Structure 1
Amino acid sequence: MGTHSDVLRRAFAAAVAAADPGAAVRAHLPPKPPRGRVVVVGMGKAAAPMAAAVEDHYDGLGVAVEGVVVTRYGHAAPLRRVRCLEAAHPVPDAAGEAAGRALLAAVDAAGADDLVLVLVSGGGSALACAPLPGLDLAAKQAVTDALLRSGAEIGDMNVVRKHLSSIKGGRLAARAAPARVLALVVSDVVGDDLAAVASGPTVSNGSGPADALAVLDRFGVNAPAARAALERAARERAARERAASADAGAAAGAATTQGDAEERCETRLVASNQASLEAASALLAEAGYRTLVLSNAITGEAREAGAFHAAVALQAWRHGQPAAPPVALVSGGETTVTVRGEGGRGGRNSEFALGLALALPADAPVAALAADSDGIDGYGGHAGALVTPALLRALDRVAARDALARNDSYRVFEALDHLLVTGPTRTNVNDVRVVLVGAPDQAMR
């Protein structure tokens, strides 16, 4: 596929390296607690290397380190003191439910002298599944699947998830009382809202069950069992608020309890999409490209975002705006896919790449990469896809448009040998996209 493909692959590798979860965690680990244990609980695609960094940090310091983390199938790594479990993503399974129970048991056993380290990374919402009493796993699976198909963005999905969980929305931190809690977060959400990553196991963002119901309404999601649980929670919350307003002393006591919980818990951002985009940009600059980071917050329909990036690339090629070739356009964030067909295969990054390719003429001197930083794009087993001038010339555009209509981008890129396959990276800081216009040697082929 030529030298442009090599540059794109190296840029993606630089972005992933900048999100190394072990290095990110090590920079934020505190000294050992004076008396108690270090209790490690974690959830997400980066959970295993984050836990390994904790073990290495406290090794030889005479402190007991124990706990449990859960990661996606295929993302586990050997750990010495912390159990590493695996579960399904993005729809939770029974293993994820068992992992949720294990996490809660670990924090329930923490004492006042212990330090609870909560290691949070993208994917944790599905991997640590602990339905509220009265709700079962099947109901959580149904509402998750429906939201995924609806095109809801991750922030909207997590509003629903946190109000159906015994872990999310700050509930895990509350269960850890009276222990001190430090949460270290590798962010996979646009804007790095700490209440949104893995649905905020140590942070509440102030939303309520009524907000979750509004999400279901906005995206036309039925999910009767989840809806019933949210309606019940909304009624109970309204009753508590009425009682608290009638009893000022009770309201003050509740505020004091919340303040105590916040004083015990600190949540820190340790890695993000922005740092990865900057690392990719630095490599591209060394390769001879002018670099422009368009945004780390690109959202919306993947195919439409791809077409937008194609429009910017064409403006650069034809008019030298916003920069003249050779230029590298870099972006991050997380797009969505509204499932329109049955039997399609792919993910948001391969759909982005196909939308971009179809918006470019066959003679455009443009190459691109769109990939998920965790190495898994949707259900295809690939990280994303590449677009090259050779692909633009070879693409059967009628067939490609039909595939896009069926959300079947994977098979288009597979047939043309333009899938990007990396395997699990064991980190997750959203998507990385690079669009090259021209080349330093003008030898794009």
Structure 2
Amino acid sequence: MTTAAQISLVNDLASQVSEVVTDELSLLAASTDRSGSVAAGLPLAVVRAHSIADVQAAMRVASAHRVPVVPRGAGAGHLVVDLSAMDRILELDPVDEIAVVEPGVLNARLDAAAAEVGLRYAPDPASAAICSIGGNVATNAGGLRCVKYGVTREAVLGLDVVLADGTLIHTGRRTMKGVAGLDLTALFVGSEGTLGIVVGATLRLKPRPVSTLTASAAYASVAAAARACAEIAAARRLPSMLEFIDRRCLEAVDRFAGTRYAERGDALVIAQADGPAAATEIEAIAAILGKEATWIEQGVDEESSDRLVETRRQVLPAIEAEGSWFIEDICVPRSRLAEAVDRISEISDRHGVRTYTLAHAGDGNLHPVIGWDPSPDDVPGVMPPAETAAGDEIFALAIELGGTTTGEHGVGRLKQKWLEPEIGADSIDLQHRIKAALDPLGILNPGVGF
């Protein structure tokens, strides 16, 4: 974009939105994200939206100037629309058990507000304290409790969405049931900002459990841990959380937090049960976990249960403290979890790379985190060659095992080449046609997803 064209864009934005910034520090902050990815250049400008009207105006201006738009993310040569200031909980209804929120509301904040009236927002990503509802919707985020409560899609009843031309549409409803028209809500959930910008969400809340109890067990091998997880499912037990952590993760947590988990075995499983029957359920789950365990502990109350779960929440901060890292995200059938973990270890050893593997074992969603020691030769946001090769093999492994290359993080730019082998060329063509209908100029998050 020429300097004159950029000035024209900024002037048009300034006359129609509450706040537009172009200083280098703000543009630099908008050119990176939590993943560590760094854009090749700076955005053209950042619109800090304070209302739906701001988002509509930004999209009308972007359409007129044919400028690509990235909602709250990195974008060299793009217009970034920052939704973090739209952070109001507009309604919280304890009778209908719904919440109406703006996209910048943080996941944990909504859950805390719901707790005040005896409810909870069930989706629980490990990053709940810092991730927003808008981001959760855009990627159909999962989390620790999804084995029982489902992912974000199951919690979204309706959406307010600004389309590429600035049109505001409302999808879904406030009721638990409704089949009028096509399910546009499901279409936008997980669309990664490529079809429209979510500016509001009507969300389903759940009764807060009267009791939540936890059991944690260590194992001499990954295979033993995976067998325990599989047996829980076979026994038709229903944990509200079932997490797997490998030795490398445990060693990182030990170095980070001064704990001694790695001394107990090569893998750790954390299970949780909630509701009126939590005590009975966790006893049954603990009995299964204990069959091959080298160590097992049950939380006798919510405080001790929270302490056991904290180990899982410390894994990513611990890995971040050890150098550069990249979080992979694949999902395989639960019956093939052990095979996936073993193959990931083999791939890592063969390429000589460091991989930490943790998983939402209840639904087969693995997060192999590839780590490496930073080097002056590193390209920001890009893995070194050996790590990249290992990552590609891990994606191929997911498809080979009958799974998917992304369970909850999305396709983004990284996994585009794996989309056709997974879903087929005809499906991609259909998605392109849907995209063209909603965003004919192709300005919404171009180059992302399909």
Which one scores higher on RCO, CA 8 angstroms, separation ≥ 6?
1
**TM bracket (short chain):** under 0.3
TM-score, structure 2 normalization: 0.25
Write 1 or 2 for the structure with the bigger share of helix: 1
